[in-house]
C-alpha cells in the first residue's frame, strides 16, 4: 500500500496514509447548529432529486462518445455483474471513522485490528513499550494507524489512514479521519470516500460535552459526513469503562445527541454501541466477566454491527464511464512499476492493461497492477477503494484530487459552474457576489469566488423565493455561480455524485454545502 510497515502482515498490507493536504486555518471552528442541515437539505444517496431540484435543472452530460467495442472489456463487465448479482464475493464497504479529537477513534480501530489478527503480537508489544516510554501508554493501539512521528508525539491523527479487514459478509476499507479542527480538510477527503461512518463519542463525564459543544468537532463532523454522502452512522459510545459501564450515562449521551442526529439527516439511520477502545470491550465481543455491561446491554459489538450494514448501492455505477478520484500518490511499492495512486472508483470499472486519461494533466497512462484489500486483482469496479500502479507519468506530476478517467469519455474539467447550496448557521458574514470561500470537492480544496447569486429557494417546495438577492445569510437555500481559482475535475451531481457534491468553508468554519447542477465553462480536452 502507501508505505511499508510491520504492523499488518501479508496478505492484507499495511495501512495507506494519505498524502497530507493543506491545513485549514487553526482558528477556532464553531459548527452548524442542528437546524443547519436537515434531511431535506443535503440528502443521503437514497434521495433521487436532492435539494428540491427539478428534473429539468439536472441536465445530463450529453457528450457524444464513440467507442470501438472491446470484447475483453465486455467479458470483464459480465464477470463483475455476475459477481455482484450472485454475491459470490463479500460485499465491499468504505467506512470512515469520525468524531471529536481525543474521542478514541484510532484507539478503537487499532485495537479492533489487533483483535482480528491484523497486528502481530510482537509489533503490538513494541508499540506498548515505546508509547509508555513517551508517556503516552494509552495511545499504544492508536499507533497501529497513527504512523507518523508527529502524530505519535502530539497524540492526534493528522492524515487519513487507510487499511482493510473483513467480517463474515463484508470486505471493509477503513478510513481513519483526524478529529482536530486544524485538519478538517483531511477529514473531508476521508468522508468523501465513505459509504458509512462510525461516529466515536467520549462517554467520560465532560468528555462528551467537550466534543458536542459549539467549538467541538462532533457537530461539524456529523454535518460534513451527511453532506458528503455517508448513509448510516454506527455511534460508538467509547470509554464506557471510565464511567463504570453505567447504563444511565450511556442513555444520557444518546438522549443528548439523538435530536441533533435526526435533524442532520440521520433519523432512523443510526445505531448506538457501548464500548471501550483501550480495554477492547465490545469491539468484537463482550467478556463474560463484564457482568455490569452484560446486565443491561444485549446488542451487537462494533464488529458485528459493521457486518450488519446493508450493501451500498454501487451496482448501477458500474454502467457509467470510468472515474477514479486520486486521494493518495506514492512510489509504487506494490509492484516496482514506479508510481501508484490510491483512491475510490466512482464509476465504471478498470482492468490491467487499460489506457486511462489522467486529468487535469491530460496524460495517457497504462494500468499495470491493481491492488484491492491487500491482494492483486485483475479488475476493480465502482465503489471499491483500490491502489493502481500506472506507467506513463512521474509521481511529482500527480496531485491529490486528480482523476483517472476513460479517454473516450473524459471527466469534465472546468472553472465555473452553477450550483445549488445551503448555508449553515456558522455563516456569520453574509455571502455576497464576489465573496471568497474555500471550495472542497472530493479530495481537493481550492480557493473560489461566488460570482452570482441567481435566486433563493424554498427548500420544502422548491419554489423561487427571491431573484438576484444581494446577500445570503445562514439557513438559506440558493442557486449560485461559483468560479474556482484553477481548473478542477467536476461532474454534474446527477451523473457522478462524489464528483458533483462539495462543501464551502471560510476561516476554518464549514459555512455551506451543495451540488453541481450545470457546467458553465469547460476546459478543452
pLDDT in tens, 29-65: 333 333 333 333 443 333 333 343 333 333 333 333 3
Q: Are 118 and 189 members of one domain? A: yes
> Which of 252, 283, 308 finishes a domain?
308
Check residue 87 and give its pLDDT. 67
Residue 221 lies in a domain: yes
Check residue 183 and give its pLDDT. 61
What does DSSP assign to residue 69?
-
Check residue 129 and give its pLDDT. 84
Residue 250 lies in a domain: yes
Q: Are 198 and 326 members of one domain? A: no
Ramachandran angles phi, psi of 414, nearest 5°: -155, 175
Residue 71 lies in a domain: no
Check residue 37 and give its pLDDT. 38
Q: Are 244 and 190 members of one domain? A: yes
Q: Are 362 and 484 members of one domain? A: no
Check residue 521 and give its pLDDT. 66
Residue 368 lies in a domain: yes
Q: Are 121 and 265 members of one domain? A: yes
For the entire predicted model, the pTM comes to 0.80
Residue 382 lies in a domain: yes
CA distances from 315 to 70, 83, 311, 319, 499 (A): 21, 11, 10, 8, 17
- Residue 270: all three cell numbers together: 443510526
CA distances from 174 to 51, 114, 379 (A): 29, 14, 20
Total residue length of the chain: 525
Does the N-terminal peptide bond of residue 501 adopt cis geometry, omega within 30 degrees of 0? no
Pick out the chain residues at pLDDT < 70: 1-70, 86-88, 136-138, 146-159, 179-183, 314-316, 332-337, 521-525
Q: Are 53 and 164 members of one domain? A: no
Pairing of strands 323-331, 403-405: antiparallel
With CA atoms as reference, report the closest residue to 245 among 278, 276, 202, 284: 276
- Residue 57: all three cell numbers together: 435543472
Check residue 161 and give its pLDDT. 79
From the number of C-beta atoms within 10 Å of its C-beta (0-12, 13-18, 19+), residue 274 rates as buried
Q: How many whole angstroms separate alpha carbon 340 and alpha carbon 347?
A: 19
Residue 12 lies in a domain: no
Q: Which domain holds residue 327?
A: 322-405
Ramachandran angles phi, psi of 96, nearest 5°: -100, 140
Residue 273 lies in a domain: yes
**165: which residues sit within 8 A by CB, 6+ positions away?**
12, 112, 113, 116, 118, 172, 174
Check residue 41 and give its pLDDT. 41
Q: Are 248 and 175 members of one domain? A: yes
Check residue 180 and give its pLDDT. 56
Q: Are 227 and 125 members of one domain? A: yes
Q: Are 481 and 342 members of one domain? A: no
Q: Are 480 and 390 members of one domain? A: no
Q: Are 262 and 364 members of one domain? A: no
Check residue 137 and give its pLDDT. 62
Q: Are 100 and 51 members of one domain? A: no
When divided into structural domains, the chain yields a total of 3
Q: How many whole angstroms separate alpha carbon 302 and alpha carbon 23?
A: 31
> Which of 282, 308, 334 finishes a domain?
308
The CATH number of the domain where 395 resides is what? Answer: 2.40.30.10
> Which of 372, 405, 438 finishes a domain?
405
Q: Which residue has the cell 450493501?
A: 311
With CA atoms as reference, report the closest residue to 9 among 102, 112, 123: 123
Residue 445 lies in a domain: yes
From the number of C-beta atoms within 10 Å of its C-beta (0-12, 13-18, 19+), residue 452 rates as middle
> Is the distance from CB of 387 to CB of 492 less than 8 angstroms?
no
Check residue 277 and give its pLDDT. 93
The CATH number of the domain where 227 resides is what? Answer: 3.40.50.300
Burial annotation 298-317 (CB, 10 A radius, 16+ → b, else e): eebbbbbbbbebeebebeeb
Amino acid at each position: 500500500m502507501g508505505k511499508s510497515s510491520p504492523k499488518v502482515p501479508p496478505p492484507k498490507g499495511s495501512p495507506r496514509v494519505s498524502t497530507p493536504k493543506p491545513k485549514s486555518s487553526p482558528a477556532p471552528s464553531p459548527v452548524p447548529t442542528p437546524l443547519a442541515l436537515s434531511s431535506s437539505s443535503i440528502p443521503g444517496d437514497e434521495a433521487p432529486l436532492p435539494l428540491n431540484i427539478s428534473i429539468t435543472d439536472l441536465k445530463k452530460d450529453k457528450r457524444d462518445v464513440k467507442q470501438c467495442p472491446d470484447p475483453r472489456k465486455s467479458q470483464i463487465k459480465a464477470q463483475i455483474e455476475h459477481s455482484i448479482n450472485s454475491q459470490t464475493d463479500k460485499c465491499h464497504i468504505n467506512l470512515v471513522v469520525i468524531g471529536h479529537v481525543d474521542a478514541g477513534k484510532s484507539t478503537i480501530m487499532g485495537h479492533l485490528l489487533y483483535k482480528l489478527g491484523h497486528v502481530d503480537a510482537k509489533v503490538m508489544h513494541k508499540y506498548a513499550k515505546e508509547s509508555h516510554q513517551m508517556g503516552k501508554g494509552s495511545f499504544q493501539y492508536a499507533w497501529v494507524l497513527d504512523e507518523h512521528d508527529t502524530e505519535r508525539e502530539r497524540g492526534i491523527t493528522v492524515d487519513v489512514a487507510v487499511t482493510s479487514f473483513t467480517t463474515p459478509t463484508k470486505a471493509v476499507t477503513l478510513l481513519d479521519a483526524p478529529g482536530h479542527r486544524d485538519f478538517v480538510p483531511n477529514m473531508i477527503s476521508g468522508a468523501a470516500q465513505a459509504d458509512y461512518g462510525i461516529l466515536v463519542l467520549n462517554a467520560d463525564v465532560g468528555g462528551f460535552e467537550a466534543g458536542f459543544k459549539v467549538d467541538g468537532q462532533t457537530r461539524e463532523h456529523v454535518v460534513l459526513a451527511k453532506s458528503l454522502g455517508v448513509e448510516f452512522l454506527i455511534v460508538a459510545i467509547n470509554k464506557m469503562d471510565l464511567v463504570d459501564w453505567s447504563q444511565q450515562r450511556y442513555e444520557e449521551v444518546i438522549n443528548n445527541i439523538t435530536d441533533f442526529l435526526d435533524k442532520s439527516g440521520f433519523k432512523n439511520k443510526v445505531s448506538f454501541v457501548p464500548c471501550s477502545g483501550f480495554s477492547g470491550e465490545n469491539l468484537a465481543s463482550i467478556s463474560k466477566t463484564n457482568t455490569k455491561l452484560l446486565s443491561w446491554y444485549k446488542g451487537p459489538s462494533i464488529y458485528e454491527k459493521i457486518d450488519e450494514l446493508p450493501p451500498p448501492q454501487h451496482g448501477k455505477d458500474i454502467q457509467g464511464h470510468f472515474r477514479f478520484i486520486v486521494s493518495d500518490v506514492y512510489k509504487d511499492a506494490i509492484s516496482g512499476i514506479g508510481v501508484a495512486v490510491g483512491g475510490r472508483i466512482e464509476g465504471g470499472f478498470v482492468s490491467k492493461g487499460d489506457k486511462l486519461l489522467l486529468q487535469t494533466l491530460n496524460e495517457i497512462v497504462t494500468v499495470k497492477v491493481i491492488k484491492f484489500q491487500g491482494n492483486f486483482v485483475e479488475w476493480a469496479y465502482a465503489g471499491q477503494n483500490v491502489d493502481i500502479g500506472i506507467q506513463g507519468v512521474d509521481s511529482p506530476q500527480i496531485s491529490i484530487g486528480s482523476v483517472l478517467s476513460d479517454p473516450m469519455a473524459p471527466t469534465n474539467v472546468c472553472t465555473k459552474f452553477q450550483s445549488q447550496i445551503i448555508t449553515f448557521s456558522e455563516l456569520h458574514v453574509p455571502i455576497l457576489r464576489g465573496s471568497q470561500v474555500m471550495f472542497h470537492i472530493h479530495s481537493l480544496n481550492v480557493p473560489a469566488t461566488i460570482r452570482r447569486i441567481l435566486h433563493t429557494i424554498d427548500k420544502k417546495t422548491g419554489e423561487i423565493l427571491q431573484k438576484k438577492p444581494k446577500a445570503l445569510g445562514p439557513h438559506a437555500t440558493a442557486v449560485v455561480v461559483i468560479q474556482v481559482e484553477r481548473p478542477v475535475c467536476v461532474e454534474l451531481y446527477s451523473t457522478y455524485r462524489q464528483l458533483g457534491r462539495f462543501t464551502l468553508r471560510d476561516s476554518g468554519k464549514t459555512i455551506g454545502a451543495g451540488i453541481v447542477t450545470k457546467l458553465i465553462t469547460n476546459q478543452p480536452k
